[in-house]
A and B are shown apart, each in its own frame.
Chain A
Amino acid sequence: MSWTNPKTWVLNEALTASDLNTYVRDNFSYLLNRPADIFTGSASDRTLVTITSTTPVAVNNVNTLSINIASTRVEIWVFARVAIDATRLGRLDVFVDNSYYVSSLTSTALTNGLWADRAISANGPKASFKVILDGLTPGTHTFQLRAWVNAGQIIIAIANLQFGVKEV
């Protein structure tokens, strides 16, 4: 169901079935199931995506998310299991509309992106976070998960990954 901005009823206006269907049925259906797109790795997918780039690159095997929103804000989340080489710094960020990063709101990610971790030893920290992104225009937007390291590598387990976006 699509969202239609609620109308103001005026004096002597007839209450029509069409209005009730649009402004009550459809809008409440929309609010019950707000736009969302979620990538959840299959438990049987043993793919480990290795990234050695020192600048942000897309995480292979993870879908670019797309939602058509009526409001201006979304919640973005990542739950992942990653491994980073000892002493190295791994980072994650989300690239919006092939244009800008959530961390910086510009085409260049902040140094530490949206999530960062410097590993004591080659290990598997959990990368779990949510963030609200506001100021979007109503319409369709895309969200791509990106990763990079300062040196060495970051390995992302697809089976343990969820990457999502939802209008809020």
Chain B
Amino acid sequence: MNIPRNLLVGEGLTITKLNRYVRDNTNYLFSRPMRVVTSRNLSNLIVTSPTPVPIDDSLYALKITMVGNEAKIWIKGLFMTDNATTTQGAAFDFLIDNFFYASSMNSSPHTRGLTFVLGKTTANYEQSFYCETIVQNLSPGIHTFKPRWFRLIGSTATLIRSGALFQVGVMEI
């Protein structure tokens, strides 16, 4: 993507300009930077940590090169807790550029992350969750987005990947 410029009176319209500002920019808008990782039918993951830990950075670390300043990030999965109480669950967040969390925009996430999935009143009852948010004020350039999760109030939380689809993604908007 090339930042569109003002053409001046008397300025020649060259093939270089046409290819740069019409061809290249149109292609860019057609295929905006996006990185999506989708897992299908992998083994379940369990979190016991009360502080943010990677879900699996070898699989789910996302990286895109942006021209603009805003990105949409999302996480979709299936979840359960091993305790029968709605006060327990797990929080999900994204660590951006190994520096700040999407939930707080600083180095510590919000208490309940970007999204908090409560357990059900019966243990090991499955529930799908989906969270999407827009991160603003990013600088143009390369950014990384790493999904993090942590359990709250003593529960063991399970991300169900067996027999399920898990997806994380980022897209410049």
Chain B, residues 129-140, CB within 8 Å of chain A (1/0): the string is 010100000000
What residues on A are CB-neighbors of B121 within 8 Å?
A: 120
| Contact between B128 and A127, CB atoms less than 8 A apart | yes
CB neighbors of A among B11-48 (8 A): 13, 15, 18-19, 22-24, 26-27, 29-32, 34, 36, 38, 40-41
Are A116 and B23 interface neighbours, CB within 8 A? no
Other-chain contact of B127, A10, A11, A73, A125 (Cβ < 8 Å): A125
Residues of chain B within 8 A (CB-CB) of A24 are 22
Q: Is the CB of A134 within 8 A of B22?
A: no
Of B51-59, B96-104, B160-168, the segment with at least 4 beta carbons within 8 Å of chain A is B160-168
Q: Is the interface of A mostly helix, strand, loop or mixed?
A: loop
Chain A residues in contact with chain B, CB under 8 A? Answer: 3, 6-11, 13, 15, 23-24, 27-28, 31, 70-71, 73, 87, 89, 102-105, 110-118, 120, 125, 127-132, 134, 168
- Give Cα distance in the complex from A116 to B127, angstroms: 6
Q: Once the chains bind, are A129 and B125 in contact (CB under 8 Å)?
A: no
B171 at the interface (CB under 8 A from A): yes
- Residues from chain B with a CB closer than 8 A to the CB of A129 are 76, 128, 130
- Report B120 CB to chain A, min CB distance, Å: 6
Interchain CB contact (< 8 A) of A9 among B18, B74, B163, B167 = B18
**Who on chain B is nearest to A106 by CB?**
B40
Please list the residues of chain B having a beta carbon within 8 angstroms of any beta carbon in chain A: 13, 15, 18-19, 22-24, 26-27, 29-32, 34, 36, 38, 40-41, 74, 76, 78, 120-122, 125-128, 130, 132, 160, 162-165, 167, 169, 171
Alpha-carbon distance between A155 and B119 when the two chains are bound, in angstroms = 23
Query: Which single member of B26, B36, B127 contacts A31 (CB below 8 Å)?
Result: B26
Total cross-chain contacts (CB, 8 A): 98
What residues of A have a CB within 8 angstroms of the CB of B78 in the complex?
Answer: 112, 116
User: Provided the pairs A15-B13, A111-B164, A129-B76 are in contact, do residues A103 and B23 lie with their beta carbons within 8 angstroms?
Assistant: no
Query: In the complex, what distance in Å separates the CA atom of A125 from the CA atom of B126?
Result: 12
The 5 sampled A-B contact pairs (Cβ below 8 Å) are A9-B23, A70-B30, A87-B122, A110-B163, A129-B128
Write out the residue numbers on chain A whose beta carbons fall within 8 Å of the beta carbon of B24.
6
Which of chain B's residues has its CB closest to A128's CB?
Answer: B130
6 additional contacts (CB under 8 A) given A3-B30, A24-B22: A8-B23, A15-B13, A15-B18, A104-B40, A118-B122, A120-B122
